[in-house]
Structure 1
Amino acid sequence: MNEISRLLQGEAKIINVGAQSFLEDLKLQERSVLHVEWRPPAGGDVELVSFLDELENDERIATANQKVVEIMKSSHGVLVDMALAIDVIPGMDENTILHAGPPITWERMCGPMKGAVIGALLFEERASSEEAAIKLIESGTIKFSPCNEHNAVGPMAGIISPHMPVHIIKDMTHGNYAYCTVNEGLGKVLRYGAYDESVITRLKWIREEFYPLLKKVLALKGDGVDIKSLISQAVHMGDECHNRNKAATSLFFREVIPYFFMLEEDRAAVQRAVDFIRGNDHYFLNLSMPACKAACDAASNVDHATVVTTMARNGVDFGIRVSGMGKDTWFTAPADKIRGLLFPGFTEEDANPDIGDSTITETMGIGGFAMGGSPAIVQFVGGTVSDAIAYSEKMFTITTSENTNYSIPTLDFRGSAIGIDVMKVLATGTLPIINTGMAHKVAGVGQVGAGLVSPPMECFRKALRAYMERRGKANE
């Protein structure tokens, strides 16, 4: 009996490549199937495939991408001070309000962002009512600009107005700075678009009592708070430093608490400040974000690089920036809805599309990329522990390197995936994974759930086409 006859008479082994529908049909027939996930590179777009073929063996790109991730990994973010935004953020003036995500006009803003802008104008006492705030905005007096274009980041709506206190993070390796506001905590908060009296009162308390105390604490400490070190420790303690910051906030609290009790200020005021940090598990998010921002900014202008240095969303658009394309170029597409767990009483229709600058954590290789080391996060965003580990492992297929500064215990202390490569995303069809909160689409309602989301693939398609156009002009 020849080989072909033996094969035909033996039990058939079925391998399904690509199409999920074929797999489901075979399962209905109770057939044993090995499924291989496969998609054509760049979704089968012939032009993009030709671009990928042309760039695949370009040593300039490989060298540039390695340089980007080395800059990011060597970055060393330290909280050195606090100040009012107008005094330290480049380009900030009395009529400027910064927001999360790529550029957007007032007319196109989503509900939570519009609510947060109104709240900021009430806080700044530029308006005495919602109607007066809207009139001021529509007069053209107020200018809007992305936080990311001013060395800053902001969670959810991401609003920073001139007289809000900001944390000052210095990259001790590269000398640049990044800025972020103070996390308000949970409940009715400005970042979800709330602007009632309780929100404004809390913001004014942060500026008038909390901020001066923490500024003095940092002056007493002298050498700042090493945020990079705290992130590294927190990842080993079950945080991923985007949606879970319990360990990181506790570590930060331990760093600053002795100095609070050295202050000579009113004991009741000091106690309120201490209680504010102790009772806010998300406090550290507004420190991890600017630390990641400082690292990505330091690596944001390396010629020929195809590594992403910004991912941000404004509740309408998702935008990315690529190191080799400079700081001024955004590639945008409509932001997606988040898939995950909704709080009781809410439906998918209530949720706003993806919003916030907190994706800077995933850009740096923590957040969703480090979920595999944060088992408790699945209780918040849905899925299982094995899903979280699988997501972390999958991110290695679209990144340039591993960041051993942030090693993941459940992956045998493998460094987190870092350096999202536009070419690898398109070649594999795998998108970066992000874990995030869901905001209600109506201003002020607040958080309605949490889950997982990815950037639109169109952002990466646009980036590669623009990269090739720029490459062509450079070769002329």
Structure 2
Amino acid sequence: MSDINNLFSQELKILNIGTSKFKDDLEFQGQDVLQLDWVPAAGGDIELLNIIDELSSREDIKEANKKAVERMMNSHPMLIDIDKAINVIPGMKENMILHSGPPIKWERMAGPMKGAVIGALIYEGRAKNEEEAIKIAASGEIEFSPCNEHCAVGPMAGIVSPSMPVHVVYNKTYGNYGYCTINEGLGKVLRYGAFNDEVIERLKWIEEEFAPTMKKALKSIDGGIDIKSIISQAVHMGDECHNRNKAATSLFFREITSYIIDTDVDIDIKKRVLNFIKMNEHYFLNLSMPSCKVATDAAHGVENSTVVTTMARNGVDFGIRVSGLGADQWFTAPANMIKGLMFPGFKEEDANPDIGDSAITETMGIGGFAMGGSPAIVQFVGGTVEDAIGYSEKMYEITVGENTNYSIPTLDFRGSAIGIDIVKVIEKGILPIINTGMAHKVAGIGQVGAGLVSPPMECFKKAILEFNKDN
């Protein structure tokens, strides 16, 4: 009884749940009001609520999700080689171009992806100029296919053509491979849809000087370079290994330098190769991505699992894939616009909708999920340090486990949230957070900013309806 008396002897605050109009009226009357933002589970959708009740109580799903997450965490990516895409990527053909996101035809491609395809066709010598490239791309002569359906990932437009060198990452725990092109740096680059002479010359240099030198260096390393270890260290040093890779690139540079020096390559070429990595703080992104890819691929195909193993965008559609559903089953919805910081001279309306395979990092529990340990990232994507920590904490509500391999110092070394569960996403109404770059919507211009975005909820609704039907 005394507790109740004490309660009413204190100043009381009014708690408002639901519409903020009541809060506004009370505040106008001089009352102290706390607003609680609340939405019903599954948005109040009765069909989805019934599905959630059924699926969330099934022990076989819980065990399957635990297994999928364990396979992700136990994966051990190693960089073992660099080679041309046609030589190593499964199913790659001379007339094929891989792209980011779910399947899409030339006619529906976004501006930056079309620009990157144009650049790839010029780079490959199939076209002499933009006009010829557009004609070839629209003719049906080229087969377009998602990187993710070929054990590969590509940042932004994600374009991979047969002659392009790719990192070869090996998962020494489960024996599978992942592939990704070489990061070109920032600004006017192919992955953002630029295709001028400078872009093509850089791609040719990567093919003719950089890749052969790196290949020789990697062949001399017994077992390759441990990428998992680098990510783990980099997260402790303030990277989230999606849009901030300063520490990771520095650690990789330290690992590879002596092996490059020991090659029999001309000294001037060695200098150019080392300087290229040194001056490109985003180099490691194209190692982080395939490393996450081999881990999520290892977790795909676990029967009864509701864990997401792919999140990818092509600039038009956002697509997800789920472990317990087929490898060729994409659940798509229109890609969202990114909110963040624009480069000088550009406005939000200049940006293309969300694009790229780099959300594979968030699928693995780093990137946006680890922003709480990367406070400096807010200077690139916007928001505050408090926001970054809040995003990381929020992701635990929609995931299966915590990845102690990638622990976050600012969260008292708590493992990053891992294993996005479509059931929890629908139940909580919380979407995964992704930090990403923005490409100009017009082909040929390049990057215009960076920010934060989430998948459309529709992707998860489609996935859970399909899972319920099949299981």
Query: How would you bin the TM-score normalised by the shorter chain?
Result: over 0.9
Secondary structure of 1:221 counterpart = coil
Matched with 2:153 is 153
| 8 Å CA contact retained: 2:107, 2:138 | no
Task: Tell me the alpha carbon deviations over residues 354-393 of structure 1, each in whole angstroms, 9 at most, x when there is no partner.
Answer: 0000000000000000000001001111111111001100
How do residues 430-469 of structure 1 correspond to structure 2 at under 5 angstroms? 430-469=430-469
Q: TM-score, normalised by structure 2?
A: 0.97
State the distance in 1 between where 2:452 and 2:189 align: 22
How do residues 16-415 of structure 1 correspond to structure 2 at under 5 angstroms? 16-415=16-415
Matched with 1:425 is 425
Task: Tell me the alpha carbon deviations over residues 305-337 of structure 1, each in whole angstroms, 9 at most, x when there is no partner.
Answer: 111000000000000000011211000000000
State the distance in 2 between where 1:191 and 1:23 align: 47
State the distance in 1 between where 2:124 and 2:222 align: 31
| 8 Å CA contact retained: 2:151, 2:178 | yes
| Regions of 4+ moved over 6 Å | 3-10
Secondary structure of 2:235 counterpart = helix
CA deviation after TM superposition for structure 1 residue 9, in Å: 10
Query: What is the RMSD computed on CA atoms of the aligned residues?
Result: 1.8
CA deviation after TM superposition for structure 1 residue 6, in Å: 11
Query: Which is worse superposed, 413-422 or 4-13?
Result: 4-13
Secondary structure of 1:47 counterpart = helix
> In structure 1, what residue type is equivalent to 2:312?
A
State the distance in 2 between where 1:320 and 1:153 align: 14
State the distance in 1 between where 2:377 and 2:367 align: 10
Query: Percent same amino acid at aligned positions?
Result: 68
State the distance in 2 between where 1:123 and 1:387 align: 42
Secondary structure of 2:207 counterpart = helix
> In structure 1, what residue type is equivalent to 2:129?
S
TM-aligned CA distance change 1:270 to 1:427, over 3 Å: same
Task: Tell me the alpha carbon deviations over residues 22-69 of structure 1, each in whole angstroms, 9 at most, x when there is no partner.
Answer: 444444444222333321111111111111111121001000000000
CA deviation after TM superposition for structure 1 residue 445, in Å: 1.3
Query: Which is worse superposed, 147-156 or 213-222?
Result: 213-222
Task: Tell me the alpha carbon deviations over residues 62-94 of structure 1, each in whole angstroms, 9 at most, x when there is no partner.
Answer: 000000000000000000111100111111000
| 8 Å CA contact retained: 2:42, 2:428 | yes
Q: TM-score, normalised by structure 1?
A: 0.96
TM-aligned CA distance change 1:261 to 1:468, over 3 Å: same
CA deviation after TM superposition for structure 1 residue 437, in Å: 0.8
> In structure 2, what residue type is equivalent to 1:137?
A
> In structure 2, what residue type is equivalent to 1:322?
V
Task: Tell me the alpha carbon deviations over residues 430-470 of structure 1, each in whole angstroms, 9 at most, x when there is no partner.
Answer: 10001111111011211111111000000001001111111
State the distance in 2 between where 1:4 and 1:174 align: 60
TM-aligned CA distance change 1:470 to 1:411, over 3 Å: same
> In structure 2, what residue type is equivalent to 1:408?
I
CA deviation after TM superposition for structure 1 residue 11, in Å: 5.7
TM-aligned CA distance change 1:237 to 1:467, over 3 Å: same
| 8 Å CA contact retained: 2:98, 2:160 | yes
CA deviation after TM superposition for structure 1 residue 223, in Å: 2.4
CA deviation after TM superposition for structure 1 residue 17, in Å: 2.0
> In structure 1, what residue type is equivalent to 2:145?
S
State the distance in 2 between where 1:19 and 1:230 align: 47
Secondary structure of 1:325 counterpart = coil
TM-aligned CA distance change 1:22 to 1:296, over 3 Å: farther
Task: Tell me the alpha carbon deviations over residues 108-138 of structure 1, each in whole angstroms, 9 at most, x when there is no partner.
Answer: 0000000000100000001111111111122
Structure 1 unaligned spans of 5+: 472-476
